[in-house]
Amino acid sequence: MLSNLENISYNLILQQKTYHKLLGQFISLGETLTDANDHKGLNSDTVTRILSVKFRMQQPDLHTGWRAATNIKSRLDVNYIFKFDLLSCTLAHLAVANGSYKLLKALLGAGADVNTKDTHGNTPLHLAVVSGNVKVVSALLKAGADKSINTEDEDGKIPLHYAAANGSLKILKYLLKKGAGINTAERKNGRTAVHYAVANGSLELLQYLLENGAEVNVKDKNEISPLQYAVAKGDANVVSALLKVGADVNAVLQAGVDVNAVLDKYNHTLLHCAAISGNIEAMHVLLAKGAGINAQDENGRTPLHYAASSGNIEAMHVLLAKGAGINAQDENGRTPLHYAAVSGNLEVVNALLQAGADVNAAESKNGRTPLHYAAVSGNLEVVNALLAAGADVNAQDKNERTTLHYAAINGNLE
């Protein structure tokens, strides 16, 4: 499932190799073409014949090719579709697939049509997006390629699908600005840009799509949602991003994923991700299905640690109501209250204190209490809340430093 999603550009890469070979033949024939032009014998048939005769020439000279194209543009039909054994295409396709910006500009100046399809249904814009060449994409859009912004190739993919699959955020923004369908599903497999962004693992690109109206729970033709792909890929950051905007965790569980499955090398579970994202509905579903409420990741952090550090007060209440270990310690002996004190979130600190958090819990590594960390951050409200709850102002860490020492060191003696 996942390998197919990650390799969507494979066929186009093979096609680009063909393009490179064909352009190599064209631009290495600069002298021949120019000579034919000088004798007024250059037309589409002549070019086709010359290309056929010189089919195996190698080592292209881009400058010669560009000069030749400039010299012949008055007589050469720049929109002529050359038919080779492997594909049919225009010179614009050849230039774009090989990243030859000068040649493309010469062709555009001669009136090249930027919306023509090759044998595989690719417009020059498809090829430019796959290559990731922002400069070429921009030139094509300025030349009218926006008219084919949602044109499908033979697999039913539009350029936006390739931008998402390649993680090309700048190109993706260009395409969306020009009207690309953000929720367009490819005809063959039914996947959207979000599916491909998940497969690529580009968190920034995925978040941009989600912030601009992309549907998070859309399913492809195999009834697979982006969240299912993210779980299968083992990318907890992407899972959290999807859950944050309302991804339906039921679809994942119905597909047979273990509710306590470890998603990545850091031992994050779905409940860790739900707590980070603050997806309360997902948390209720996971807990009802038996998710380990005190599951620890690689660093010993539980979902409550993450809810406290990220300031998700509602997520904290859900976990505490279900019996989460309020004084659970991570690998350094830090409790959720330590994390709340570090973040300086007064509401979270008060919620933990009211639920019975140990205000004087000392971490095992350095012996610091939540008050030590509050003194470092200089958040007076948090300091006062901890003191009111009985925090020991004279408690020493393993370096025999009290909270007053840390307040002085950090200039927080007020």
Which DSSP category does 402 fall into?
A: -
The model's pLDDT over 206-252, given as tens digits with 9 standing for 90+, comes to 999 999 999 999 999 999 999 999 999 999 999 999 999 999 999 99
Write down how long the chain is.
Answer: 414
> Over the stretch 256-298, which tens digit does the pLDDT of each residue have?
999 999 999 999 999 999 999 999 999 999 999 999 999 999 9
pLDDT tens digits for range 26-80:
544 444 444 444 444 444 455 444 444 443 333 344 444 445 555 544 445 678 7
DSSP per position, 107-169: HHHTT--TT---TTS--HHHHHHHHT-HHHHHHHHHTTGGGGTT---TTS--HHHHHHHHT-H
Contact 375, 412 (CB under 8 A): yes
- Bridge partners for 88 per DSSP: 83
**pLDDT tens digits along 69-120:** 555 444 456 787 777 666 788 888 888 887 878 878 888 988 899 999 999 9
**pTM score above 0.85:** no
Domain 1-148: which CATH class? Answer: mainly alpha
Given pLDDT bands bounded at 50, 70 and 90, which one contains residue 410? low
Whole-angstrom CA distances from 117 to 15, 46, 150, 157, 192 are 13, 23, 13, 13, 22
Per-residue pLDDT tens digits for 380-397 = 899 999 999 999 999 998
Measured in whole angstroms, how far is the alpha carbon of residue 72 from the centre of its chain? 43
121 pLDDT more than 50: yes
Determine the Cα–Cα distance for residues 17 and 79; give it in Å rounded to an integer: 21
